[in-house]
Amino acid sequence: MTSIISGFLKGIKSIGQETVEKTVEHTGKIASGIITGQELIGNLKPMSNEQQTKAQQEEVKKQQEVEKIKQEYMGQPARNVEQEIEKVRDEKDRKEEEEERFLKNLERQRENERIERLQMQVEVPGNAKREAGKRQFAPGKKKKQAPDPASMSATNEMTGGKID
């Protein structure tokens, strides 16, 4: 049993040593890959007096532009969003009411037309077949039927009744 425990402890010790060695190796690789500030910037020269004044002037111009824009924005009258929303709602309600009135009026007209059609049907008295027959023929003179040529004599009827 003691040999198992001692073997276990030796194994843990060897694992720890390997881990430390690998960590040191990787840390060295990471450190060699780090770029220093000097390498990044290179030969940084201090600004001359002219460059400093020019940079300050540009900064002052930027601040003046920002202030100008702020003043222009603040100079505008504030929008009353609630009032604008209320106007939109009122307009929408007004349109809905107009549409509702239009639909009611259209419905009332259709109902009146339906009632009028029913009244016209009731007012027409008499036989429906007879009324339909009257409408079938156009009013005016009726045509006389021509006599059958076989039943007519060869004298008077063929000439139209005129004797020369």
Residue-by-residue DSSP string for 85-145: HHHHHHHHHHHHHHHHHHHHHHHHHHHHHHHHHHHHHHH--S-HHHHHHHHHSPSSPPPPP
Q: What is the pTM of this model?
A: 0.29
In a domain, 103, yes or no: yes
CA dist 19 and 10 (Å) reads 14
The range of the structural domain enclosing residue 110 comes to: 89-122
In a domain, 5, yes or no: no
In a domain, 108, yes or no: yes
Q: Which burial class, exposed, middle or buried, applies to 117 when counting CB atoms under 10 A from its CB (0-12, 13-18, 19+)?
A: exposed
The kind and range of the H/E element at 5 are helix 2-33
In a domain, 159, yes or no: no
63 pLDDT higher than 80: yes
* Number of domains present in the structure of the chain: 1
In a domain, 80, yes or no: no
CA dist 79 and 41 (Å) reads 50
pLDDT band per the 50, 70, 90 thresholds, residue 54: very high
In a domain, 76, yes or no: no
In a domain, 109, yes or no: yes
pLDDT of amino acid 134: 62
pLDDT of amino acid 155: 60
In a domain, 111, yes or no: yes
pLDDT of amino acid 106: 96
